């Protein structure tokens, strides 16, 4: 009966190991692989004991049993700590291996001394082999070693359950159940089933559970599954080199991208072929700057230009064996679809940008026309200033352009555009001046002049309200300053604030020159137009008193353009 039990257990144990080998994967836990080799050996020892016919065969079979039993406890512990993500130092692993080796060495003394077994006798009882023995001190030490290994495994399981949240609970339970079952069969098996040893049953049960663990545990190893997924993903190519640029291998995708790889010899330095030079360039760039590890590789099609082009992202990284870098790995990832999508987005964004700019320009144009219309409406109420805003606006443009040519004022393009754009708004405050004053066909009295002077501050207030919600903050400031301060004087005798010198914003100083020049050379109800020479003399005499002396050279440079412009107006041009 015992022969049949041990024989069946041996067959199933070998079958479990065969299943494990069939499903074996290079990323499987190595310690579990050793377990699947040791358990059939242990089961074989029990089977040989059951068919032994003399003392010598029985003792030989016991040594085989102890060979498996001594190291099974070690690799069970190793597998538990690894599955529970507990890092065991190398010297501890070597020490534990030495302890197991010493324990097995004691078992090898069976039949040659009484330290492990003594008072031996062998007989066949009811067709079953019976080895009677008494245990020596080495066997007691062997038991202590087994108990110590069991307790170590139990501590590792409990620690992982409480402290290792990243360890799957399913794995911890699957590891614990066979471990406890093996221990029970080891110490209490014979008490439940006569002369038969139930240890092989415990080991067989452990094999079955570890088959489940192996199949399941591989899913939790993100790094390994990611590598396997990359291997099966045909859009990703990769090749590897060692530190001396010796070719180590590549996958099918990389070889299709670079057919020259098929001609390379493993362990030979890559040559100066087209592919070899590219690979060297990628790796050299990575070695010079590890942060610069991404490149682009375009595979041109054979049909129409660009029809079958494929674009690949090339990444260079260190090739690691565990924690040790052994070389470089170059990966090619097909990025064609993503690049085309980005190109499509860029095209769409460019069109959208153009449309936004067109619509924005249209809105700005409407806004400018509205302001100009408002300024012209205000001007239409003033009998003495017909066409004034257009003329002064052109005068400001001429002065600003000469300032840019001269280059002494370091004006930004934005500022220049803002001043020119704000010029038509400088007299908007006249909207608040009474018609009786504004339309008076003659010189103002002192009281009327005081009322007229209010248009500067009122203009700033009106512009502030009009541009209150504009996004162009710089233009808003310039426009308010032009309206508010264009009647201020360099000597501080102007209005409305009595500012002097550079307290007056530059845009208002420019506007003042254009405004006064237009008043001099244009006909008013209270005077005839001055000729250009007299107007020029008045402007030049006012430099340093009424006007910014820093604009003297600018005005001089602009004089010919100003005179030509006003001459054309006089001729009806």
Which pLDDT value is given to residue 384? 52
319 strand-pairing partners:
327
Give 160's pLDDT tier (boundaries 50, 70, 90).
confident
Could you tell me which of 202, 210, 227 has the C-alpha nearest to residue 82? 210
Task: Please check the confidence at residue 305 and state whether its pLDDT lies above 50.
Answer: no
Which pLDDT value is given to residue 193? 45
Give the pLDDT mean for 233-245: 81
pLDDT in tens, 359-400: 766 666 666 666 666 666 666 555 555 578 888 889 999 999
Task: Please check the confidence at residue 32 and state whether its pLDDT lies above 60.
Answer: yes
Task: Please check the confidence at residue 504 and state whether its pLDDT lies above 90.
Answer: yes
Match 């990025």 to its residue by tokens. 335
Please indicate whether residue 126 or residue 487 has the higher confidence score (pLDDT): 487
Rounded-to-integer distance, Cα 497 and Cα 381, Å: 26
Burial status of residue 3 (CB atoms within 10 A of its CB: 0-12, 13-18, 19 or more): middle
Task: Please check the confidence at residue 538 and state whether its pLDDT lies above 90.
Answer: yes
Percent of the chain with pLDDT over 70: 85
> Are residues 524 and 442 in contact, defined by beta-carbon separation less than 8 angstroms?
no
Find which of 278-287, 420-429, 475-484 is predicted with most confidence, using mean pLDDT: 475-484
- Domains of the chain from N-terminus onward: 2-221 (1.20.1070), 233-334 (3.30.450.20), 366-570 (1.10.3210.10)
Distances (CA, A) of 543 to 419, 487, 536, 549: 21, 14, 11, 5
Which pLDDT value is given to residue 192? 45
* DSSP strands (E only) in 322-371: 324-334
pTM: 0.47
Rounded-to-integer distance, Cα 292 and Cα 150, Å: 51
Task: Please check the confidence at residue 311 and state whether its pLDDT lies above 70.
Answer: yes
Give 319's pLDDT tier (boundaries 50, 70, 90).
confident
Which pLDDT value is given to residue 15? 94
> Are residues 437 and 452 in contact, defined by beta-carbon separation less than 8 angstroms?
yes
Which pLDDT value is given to residue 352? 84
Mean pLDDT over the full length of the chain: 82
Least confident of 112-121, 176-185, 261-270: 176-185
Task: Please check the confidence at residue 222 and state whether its pLDDT lies above 50.
Answer: no
> Are residues 546 and 490 in contact, defined by beta-carbon separation less than 8 angstroms?
yes
Concatenating the DSSP letter of every residue in 129-192 gives EEEEEEE-HHHHHHHHHHHHHHHHHHHHHHHHHHH-TTS-HHHHHHHHHHHHHHHHHHHHHHHH
Least confident of 114-123, 301-310, 369-378, 399-408: 301-310
Which pLDDT value is given to residue 462? 87
Task: Please check the confidence at residue 527 and state whether its pLDDT lies above 80.
Answer: no
Which pLDDT value is given to residue 517? 92
Give 491's pLDDT tier (boundaries 50, 70, 90).
very high
247-250 and 236-242 as β-strands: parallel, antiparallel, unpaired?
Answer: antiparallel
Give 287's pLDDT tier (boundaries 50, 70, 90).
confident
Find which of 107-111, 173-177, 283-287, 557-561 is predicted with most confidence, using mean pLDDT: 557-561
Least confident of 20-34, 44-58, 206-220: 206-220
423 alpha-carbon distance from chain centroid: 49
Residues contacting 73, CB < 8 A, separation 6+:
100, 145, 146, 149, 150
> Are residues 364 and 370 in contact, defined by beta-carbon separation less than 8 angstroms?
no
Find which of 7-21, 78-92, 280-294 is predicted with most confidence, using mean pLDDT: 7-21
Which pLDDT value is given to residue 142? 85
Q: DSSP 3-state assignment of 361?
A: helix
Please indicate whether residue 260 or residue 543 has the higher confidence score (pLDDT): 543
> Are residues 315 and 236 in contact, defined by beta-carbon separation less than 8 angstroms?
no
Percent of the chain with pLDDT over 90: 17
Task: Please check the confidence at residue 219 and state whether its pLDDT lies above 90.
Answer: no
Which pLDDT value is given to residue 196? 62
Which pLDDT value is given to residue 2? 79
Torsions phi, psi of 459, nearest 5? -60, -40
Rounded to the nearest 10 degrees, the angle between the axes of helix 2-22 and helix 30-50 is 160
Task: Please check the confidence at residue 238 and state whether its pLDDT lies above 90.
Answer: no
Which pLDDT value is given to residue 185? 76
Which pLDDT value is given to residue 503? 93
């Amino acid at each position: 009966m015992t022969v049949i039990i041990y024989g069946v257990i041996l067959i199933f144990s070998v079958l479990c190991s065969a299943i494990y080998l069939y499903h074996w994967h290079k990323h499987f836990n190595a310690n579990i692989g050793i377990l699947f080799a040791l358990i059939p050996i242990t089961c074989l020892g029990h089977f040989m004991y059951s068919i032994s016919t003399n003392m010598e065969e029985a003792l030989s079979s016991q040594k085989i049993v102890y060979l498996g039993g001594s190291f099974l406890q070690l690799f069970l512990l190793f597998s538990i700590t690894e599955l529970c993500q507990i890092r065991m130092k190398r010297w501890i692993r070597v020490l534990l291996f030495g302890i197991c080796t010493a324990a097995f060495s004691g078992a090898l003394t069976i039949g040659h001394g009484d330290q492990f077994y003594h008072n031996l006798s062998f007989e066949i009882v009811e067709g079953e082999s019976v080895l009677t023995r008494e245990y020596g001190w080495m066997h007691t030490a062997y038991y202590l070693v087994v108990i110590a290994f069991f307790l170590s495994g139990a501590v590792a399981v409990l620690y992982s359950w409480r402290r290792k949240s990243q360890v799957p609970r399913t794995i911890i339970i699957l590891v614990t159940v066979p471990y406890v079952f093996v221990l029970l069969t080891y110490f209490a098996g014979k008490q439940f089933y006569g002369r038969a040893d139930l240890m092989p049953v415990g080991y067989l049960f452990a094999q079955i559970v570890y088959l489940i663990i192996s199949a399941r545990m591989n899913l939790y190893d993100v790094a390994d599954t990611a590598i396997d997924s990359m291997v099966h993903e045909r859009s990703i190519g990769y090749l590897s080199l060692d530190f001396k640029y010796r070719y180590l291998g590549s996958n099918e995708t990389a070889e299709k991208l670079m057919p020259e790889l098929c001609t390379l010899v493993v362990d030979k330095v890559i040559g100066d072929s087209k592919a070899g030079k590219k690979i060297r360039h990628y790796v050299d760039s990575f070695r010079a700057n590890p942060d610069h590890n991404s490149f682009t590789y375009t595979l041109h099609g054979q049909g129409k230009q660009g029809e079958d082009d494929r674009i690949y992202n090339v990444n260079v990284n260190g090739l690691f064996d565990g924690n040790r870098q052994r070389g470089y790995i170059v990966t090619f990832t097909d990025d064609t679809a993503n690049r085309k999508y980005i190109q499509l987005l860029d095209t769409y964004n460019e069109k959208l940008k153009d449309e936004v700019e067109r619509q924005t320009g249209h809105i700005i144009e409407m806004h400018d026309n509205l302001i100009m219309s408002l300024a012209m409406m205000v001007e239409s109420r003033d009998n003495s200033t017909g066409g004034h805003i257009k003329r002064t606006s052109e005068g400001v443009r001429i002065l600003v352009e000469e300032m840019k040519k001269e280059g002494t004022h370091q004006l930004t393009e934005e500022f220049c555009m803002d001043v020119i754009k704000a010029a038509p708004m400088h007299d908007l405050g006249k909207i608040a001046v009474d018609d009786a004053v504004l339309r008076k066909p003659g010189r103002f009295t002192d009281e009327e002049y005081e009322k007229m002077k209010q248009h500067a501050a009122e203009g700033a207030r009106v512009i502030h309200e009009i541009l209150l919600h504009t996004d162009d903050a710089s233009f808003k400031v310039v426009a308010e300053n032009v309206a508010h301060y264009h009647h201020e004087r360099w000597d501080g005798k102007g209005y409305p604030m009595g500012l002097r010198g550079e307290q007056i914003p530059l845009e208002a100083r420019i506007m003042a020159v254009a405004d006064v020049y237009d008043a001099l050379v244009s006909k008013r109800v209270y005077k005839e137009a001055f000729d250009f020479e007299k107007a020029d003399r008045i402007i030049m005499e006012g430099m340093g008193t009424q006007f910014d002396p820093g604009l003297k050279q600018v005005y001089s440079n602009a004089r010919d353009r100003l005179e030509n412009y006003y001459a054309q107006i006089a001729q009806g041009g």
